Structure 1
């Protein structure tokens, strides 16, 4: 993972868990700054494929 990937990961890890779970499971739409985060997008895809 390059430096930008690490920064994106840190950003996702710093999010509040209840909000993050709602965004990952599609219960709520994430803010634009989160939905465009490549790490968030990759994790969300994995979560949605396993629901």
Structure 2
């Protein structure tokens, strides 16, 4: 299933970004950008996924 749209890869990327956020390595804004990129969206800061 690797490489499938919306697959585990996105989840792993978001989990990694969340870990960095929790550790203080990145800011909330950077986390949102990484999450949006992992999900393939361009509306960073929008409420579309909320």
Q: TM-score range by the shorter chain?
A: 0.3 to 0.5
Greater gyration radius: 2
Give the structure with the larger helix fraction. Answer: 1
User: What's the TM-score, normalizing by structure 2?
Assistant: 0.37
Q: Which has the higher contact order (CA 8 A, sep 6+)?
A: 1
